[in-house]
Chains A and B, each alone.
Chain A
Amino acid sequence: MSQAVYTPPPVVSLIQRRSLIVGAIGIAVCVIGAIFRPAQFLNSWLISFMFWIGIALGCLALVMLQYLSGGAWGLVIRRVLESGTRTLPLMALLFLPILFGIRALYVWARPADVAASELLREKHFYLNIPFFVARAVIYFAAWIALAWFLNKWSRRQDVTADQRLERRLQLLSAGGLVLYGLTITFAAVDWMMSLQPEWTSTIFGILVIGGQALSAMAFAVAVTVLLAQYEPMSHVIQPRHLHDLGTLLFAFVMLWAYFSFSQFLIIWSGNLPEEVTWYTRRLNGGWQWVALLVVLFHFALPFVLLLSRDVKRNARTIAIVAVWVIVMRFIDLFWVIAPARRAEHLAVHWLDLAALVGSGGVWLGYFAWQLRKRPLLPVNDPHLQEALNHAEH
């Protein structure tokens, strides 16, 4: 069993091809949208960008978390997570429309608006275009560097079975998690919070981190169940692995809900005009129904379903819950981002869908391509045999 190579099944190449075709069509529609409806396109693109980079960065965080915590759950999904981290260079490319559309997207980037607002003049030392661009470069450099070393050393472990690499990966992960926490907090402020620059929330970065961990966990569960339908992973994935992954998914659903509610409770209690308007905009004009959808189906439904041991141990049901959570992650981001610069009333634009499909198709295709490159398990990880042991010896 230890000699098995764990080659990815052919279905991965099929997903790669189909995703890229669908993505190319989506991107073509986005280009048309960008020409005729640039402002709308940018808002839609930002939502999808934050959604897909959320999965990629969540993968990065979970890989590092698992090096520090250990656990069989992380070994069976490590290659899925690593492939997710290797999509970060692609995300840097998909960030370009936002970079070129700063003025259309962010009110603080428009000189006339800044001149008219004392608040924006006060915040100008941080919210200005050169500094914004420089920060984005730093974030991507940090994330891509972390992903590069994590993948490189993990691959070397496959080939050389050098036992010292584990320690090195743990040290990198310890520092890397701190770096991830700091960079994503600033990135969340830059890319999402500054859409309404009058608004501040100190928990916002943590909330974004919770959302990314949840997205990545749900994504990893969905991909793992898919891979478990085929050789060779059909011999590897056992109900107890799915049980552990389902339990972690449950924990991240709770964590996200906890952060989300904390932000709401504090702002609701304070009831200060510069803070609470963020929520009043999102709880009126039709957006309240989206909020209700998020509370019921992003939190309550997965929470209740994941309480059940049977749901977690059954590949089919846990995959359905995971895909459902991924869908709700998008709706949550839509509710956070879309109302910022859109009409008072709830509106869904065809470009929202085009951006999701365009960036998503390309991202999934790229992900599948990365997944194909390496064995589906870290074959020389010192804990692998222990993680794969069958209950009945």
Chain B
Amino acid sequence: MATGDRRPALYGVMAEFDNPDAVIAATRRAYEEGYRKMDAYTPYPIEELSEALGYHRNRLPLVVLIGGLLGAIGGYWLLYWTSVIDYPINVGGRPYHSWPSFIPITFETTVLVAALSAVLGMLALNGLPMPNHPVFNTPNFELATRDRFFLCIEAADPRFDHDATANFLRSLNAREVTDVES
């Protein structure tokens, strides 16, 4: 076990905190130090924390917008094709292309496809479903669903240096700083 080669690859260094203020403060400090590839794990959503982590825009709104537009075009085209091209029926003398009566269904398909893209896009962008994740190798990590607050600086961060990063996290009043094996 002494050979460095056989040591399991490192996912990152995890710091454990008692309270939300400590984890927010630690995250801000880490961000100031230049760390970017990091994530925090808390029992409930903390708005300030996502900002402290350098709230990054995700592409979900774009996915939903494209989904909505496709739904609108697809819905309208379906109505146009069925009532004008494939099976035109004279209804009370109205034109085949009765756009006012197409709008409610176009609206419905817009919402439907946009909502589906929101759910599926969220899953895809989060990389879900994911059967396991390295952070679960952290001791005590199940407390992240109860009363502990965790901050993980990942090894993939360019500024990551095992000892320096671990010492830095210790200096932030963490209860515990542990390695996370990948």
Instruction: Give chain B residues whose Cβ lies under 8 Å from the Cβ of A307.
Output: 65
Q: In whole angstroms, how far apart are the Cα atoms of A301 and B65 in the complex?
A: 16
Inter-subunit contact A265/B103 (CB<8 Å): yes
Inter-subunit contact A391/B101 (CB<8 Å): no
Separation in Å of the A307 CB from the closest CB of chain B?
A: 8
Q: In whole angstroms, how far apart are the Cα atoms of A264 and B61 in the complex?
A: 32
Separation in Å of the B80 CB from the closest CB of chain A?
A: 17
Q: In whole angstroms, how far apart are the Cα atoms of A269 and B91 in the complex?
A: 10
Inter-subunit contact A392/B101 (CB<8 Å): no
A268: contacting residue among B47, B51, B100, CB under 8 A:
B100
Inter-subunit contact B100/A269 (CB<8 Å): yes
Inter-subunit contact A271/B92 (CB<8 Å): yes
Interface residues of B (CB under 8 A from A): 21, 47-48, 51, 61, 65, 92, 94, 100-101, 103-104
**Which residues of A263-321 have CB atoms within 8 Å of chain B's CB atoms?**
264-265, 268-269, 271, 307, 309
Q: List 16 A-B contacts (CB under 8 A).
A: A261-B100, A261-B103, A264-B100, A265-B100, A265-B101, A265-B103, A268-B100, A268-B101, A269-B100, A269-B101, A271-B92, A271-B94, A307-B65, A391-B51, A392-B48, A393-B21
Separation in Å of the B32 CB from the closest CB of chain A?
A: 15
Specify the chain B residue showing the minimal Cβ separation from A268.
B100
Separation in Å of the B172 CB from the closest CB of chain A?
A: 18
Specify the chain B residue showing the minimal Cβ separation from A240.
B47
Specify the chain A residue showing the minimal Cβ separation from B93.
A271
Inter-subunit contact B48/A391 (CB<8 Å): yes
Q: In whole angstroms, how far apart are the Cα atoms of A265 and B103 in the complex?
A: 9
Instruction: Give chain A residues whose Cβ lies under 8 Å from the Cβ of B61.
Output: 309
Q: In whole angstroms, how far apart are the Cα atoms of A391 and B21 in the complex?
A: 12
Separation in Å of the B67 CB from the closest CB of chain A?
A: 13
Q: In whole angstroms, how far apart are the Cα atoms of A269 and B94 in the complex?
A: 8
Closest 5 CB pairs of A and B: A268-B100, A265-B100, A391-B48, A392-B48, A391-B47
Interface residues of A (CB under 8 A from B): 261, 264-265, 268-269, 271, 307, 309, 391-393
Task: Give the A-B pair count, Cβ closer than 8 A.
Answer: 22
Q: In whole angstroms, how far apart are the Cα atoms of A53 and B135 in the complex?
A: 60
Q: In whole angstroms, how far apart are the Cα atoms of A391 and B46 in the complex?
A: 10
Instruction: Give chain B residues whose Cβ lies under 8 Å from the Cβ of A269.
Output: 94, 100-101
Separation in Å of the A93 CB from the closest CB of chain B?
A: 41
Q: In whole angstroms, how far apart are the Cα atoms of A264 and B103 in the complex?
A: 12
Instruction: Give chain B residues whose Cβ lies under 8 Å from the Cβ of A264.
Output: 100
Q: In whole angstroms, how far apart are the Cα atoms of A264 and B21 in the complex?
A: 55
Q: In whole angstroms, how far apart are the Cα atoms of A271 and B47 in the complex?
A: 53
Instruction: Give chain A residues whose Cβ lies under 8 Å from the Cβ of B47.
Output: 391
Specify the chain B residue showing the minimal Cβ separation from A261.
B103
Inter-subunit contact B92/A265 (CB<8 Å): no
Instruction: Give chain B residues whose Cβ lies under 8 Å from the Cβ of A393.
Output: 21, 48
Separation in Å of the B62 CB from the closest CB of chain A?
A: 12
Separation in Å of the A385 CB from the closest CB of chain B?
A: 17
Q: In whole angstroms, how far apart are the Cα atoms of A336 and B113 in the complex?
A: 35
A265: contacting residue among B21, B51, B65, B104, CB under 8 A:
B104
Separation in Å of the A240 CB from the closest CB of chain B?
A: 9
Instruction: Give chain A residues whose Cβ lies under 8 Å from the Cβ of B94.
Output: 269, 271
Specify the chain A residue showing the minimal Cβ separation from B47.
A391
Instruction: Give chain A residues whose Cβ lies under 8 Å from the Cβ of B100.
Output: 261, 264-265, 268-269
Separation in Å of the A261 CB from the closest CB of chain B?
A: 7
Instruction: Give chain A residues whose Cβ lies under 8 Å from the Cβ of B65.
Output: 307
Q: In whole angstroms, how far apart are the Cα atoms of A392 and B21 in the complex?
A: 10
Q: Which of B21, B100, B101, B103 has the most CB of A within 10 A?
A: B100
Q: In whole angstroms, how far apart are the Cα atoms of A23 and B117 in the complex?
A: 52
Specify the chain A residue showing the minimal Cβ separation from B64.
A307
Given A261-B103, A268-B101, A307-B65, 19 more pairs with CB closer than 8 A:
A261-B100, A264-B100, A265-B100, A265-B101, A265-B103, A265-B104, A268-B100, A269-B94, A269-B100, A269-B101, A271-B92, A271-B94, A309-B61, A391-B47, A391-B48, A391-B51, A392-B48, A393-B21, A393-B48
Separation in Å of the B65 CB from the closest CB of chain A?
A: 8
Specify the chain A residue showing the minimal Cβ separation from B99.
A268
Instruction: Give chain A residues whose Cβ lies under 8 Å from the Cβ of B21.
Output: 393
Separation in Å of the A329 CB from the closest CB of chain B?
A: 22
Instruction: Give chain B residues whose Cβ lies under 8 Å from the Cβ of A309.
Output: 61
Separation in Å of the A266 CB from the closest CB of chain B?
A: 10
Instruction: Give chain A residues whose Cβ lies under 8 Å from the Cβ of B48.
Output: 391-393
Separation in Å of the B101 CB from the closest CB of chain A?
A: 6
